[in-house]
């Protein structure tokens, strides 16, 4: 009788739990060689899907399956499109690119926070997008859409580097069987941002970012907080939700005051957000800025 489970090859590293041959993950893994060949590219989230370990490959593929409710065809399509996009855009390069101080200083930070309530992790990667900084020179930040997107992808890639997926040892549960421990948290801070005077550059940047991250960065986000959003501006929050899947929207929370964030993420966040942690400027990582 044929073996009905997939046996992981011998490894000194982490081993994925055995899965049946007809499991969506087994089937997607079998498609990998043809997908990387068609895309002429094999890296996703810092892991090479051609040369990586069995565990590393399954870690990435499981994210695409979970993002598509275990629909193999949809996961396959999204993975192929992501590989093609990553070859074209070269997102890994954005981690080392230098950006304008006038447009991007103080706009985004990547840090870690310990003791997040309800988290399966000892420390979580948290990305702060401080849009009030952009209000100082809207044209410098949003006027060049290509530059903004390279900066925005750059901060996402920095957060993925902080997650260290190549060094992960915990497998990701199947869709519906538990949380993915290899995701980051995002905080979008709108202090001093006018919601009534968004110009076309801002709207175009927001649309491009939502489109890119929904298509090419599945299962990278566990929770997303919109903070310092006045209650009367709830329409903005609702407008954003309309552009995303119900599964993604369930991860969202709007907070009227930044100080409320500590109630969700614990005391490790900076004092400006109600916690006891250090300032973002003193310890967090930013994309590189011109001298």
pLDDT in tens, 206-254: 899 999 999 999 999 999 999 998 765 666 656 666 666 666 666 778 8
Do residues 127 and 222 both lie within one domain? yes
Q: What pLDDT is attached to residue 69?
A: 95
Residue 170 has pLDDT above 80, yes or no: yes
In the structure, what pLDDT confidence band is assigned to residue 2 with cuts at 50, 70 and 90? very low
Q: 47 or 201, which is more confident? A: 47
- CB 108, CB 150: distance < 8 Å: no
Do residues 153 and 39 both lie within one domain? no
DSSP string for the chain? ----EEPPPP-SS--PPPEETTSHHHHHHHHHHHHHHHHT--EETTEETTTS-HHHHHHHHHHHHHHTTT-HHHHHHHHHHHHHHHHHH-GGGGGG-EE-HHHHTTTEEEEEEE--TT-SSSEEEEEEEETTTGGG-HHHHHSSHHHHHHHHHHHHHHHHHHHTGGG--SPPPPTTSS--SS-EEEEEE-TT--SS---HHHHHHHHHHHHHHHHH-TT-EEEEEEES--GGGHHHHHHHHHTS-HHHHTTEEEESSGGGGHHHH-TTSBGGGTSSBPPHHHH-B--EE--
Q: What pLDDT is attached to residue 202?
A: 86
- Last-in-domain residue among 89, 116, 150: 89
Q: 232 or 136, which is more confident? A: 136
Q: How far is CA 53 from CA 5, 27, 34, 179, 261, in A?
A: 18, 17, 18, 22, 38
In the structure, what pLDDT confidence band is assigned to residue 137 with cuts at 50, 70 and 90? confident
Do residues 198 and 109 both lie within one domain? yes
Residue 6 has pLDDT above 50, yes or no: no
Residue 275 has pLDDT above 50, yes or no: yes
- Last-in-domain residue among 89, 105, 124: 89
CA 84 from chain centre, in angstroms, equals 18
Domain that holds residue 63: 5-89
Do residues 55 and 168 both lie within one domain? no
pLDDT in tens, 43-83: 999 999 999 999 999 999 999 999 999 999 999 999 999 99
Closest CA to 70 of 118, 103, 105, 23: 23
Q: What percent of the chain has pLDDT over 70?
A: 87
When mean pLDDT is compared across 133-137, 141-145, 251-255, the lowest value belongs to 133-137
Residue 101 has pLDDT above 80, yes or no: yes
Do residues 112 and 175 both lie within one domain? yes
Q: What percent of the chain has pLDDT over 90?
A: 76
Angle between helices 72-89 and 200-216 (to 10 degrees): 120
Cβ-based neighbour number of residue 40 at 10 Å: 9
Do residues 75 and 109 both lie within one domain? no
Residue 197 has pLDDT above 80, yes or no: no
- Last-in-domain residue among 54, 89, 124: 89
Do residues 162 and 226 both lie within one domain? yes
Q: 107 or 237, which is more confident? A: 107
Do residues 102 and 73 both lie within one domain? no
Do residues 174 and 278 both lie within one domain? yes
The structural domain count of the chain equals 2
Residue 142 has pLDDT above 60, yes or no: yes
Q: What pLDDT is attached to residue 148?
A: 96
Do residues 148 and 265 both lie within one domain? yes
In this structure, what CATH number is given to the domain that contains residue 203? 3.40.525.10
Do residues 200 and 248 both lie within one domain? yes
Do residues 251 and 132 both lie within one domain? yes
Q: How far is CA 104 from CA 52, 137, 152, 233, in A?
A: 34, 9, 10, 25
Closest CA to 262 of 74, 126, 151, 89: 126
């Amino acid at each position: 009788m044929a073996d009905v489970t997939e046996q992981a090859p011998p490894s000194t590293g982490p081993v994925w739990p055995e899965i049946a041959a007809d499991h969506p993950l087994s089937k997607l893994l079998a498609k990998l060689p043809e997908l990387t060949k068609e895309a002429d590219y094999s890296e996703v989230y810092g892991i090479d899907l051609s040369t990586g370990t069995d565990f590393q490959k399954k870690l990435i593929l499981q994210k695409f399956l979970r993002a598509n409710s275990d629909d193999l065809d949809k996961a396959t399509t999204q993975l192929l499109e992501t590989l093609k996009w990553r070859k074209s855009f070269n997102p890994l390069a954005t981690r080392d690119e230098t950006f304008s101080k006038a447009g991007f200083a103080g706009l985004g930070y990547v840090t870690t926070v310990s003791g997040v309530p309800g988290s399966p992790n000892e420390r979580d990667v948290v990305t702060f997008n401080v849009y009030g900084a952009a209000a100082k020179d809207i044209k410098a930040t949003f006027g060049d859409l290509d530059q903004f997107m390279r900066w925005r992808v750059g901060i996402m890639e920095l957060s993925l580097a902080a997650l260290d997926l190549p060094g992960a040892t915990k497998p990701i549960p199947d869709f519906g069987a538990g949380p993915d421990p290899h995701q980051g948290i995002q905080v979008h801070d709108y202090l001093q941002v006018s919601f009534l005077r968004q110009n076309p550059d801002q709207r175009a940047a927001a649309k491009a970012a939502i489109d890119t991250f929904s298509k090419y960065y599945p299962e990278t986000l566990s929770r997303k907080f919109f903070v310092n959003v006045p209650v009367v501006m709830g329409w903005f929050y609702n407008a954003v939700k309309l552009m995303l899947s119900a599964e993604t929207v369930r991860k969202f929370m709007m907070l009227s005051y930044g100080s409320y964030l500590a109630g969700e993420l614990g005391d490790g966040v900076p004092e400006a957000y109600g916690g006891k942690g250090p300032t973002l400027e003193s310890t967090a990582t930013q994309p590189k800025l011109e001298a």
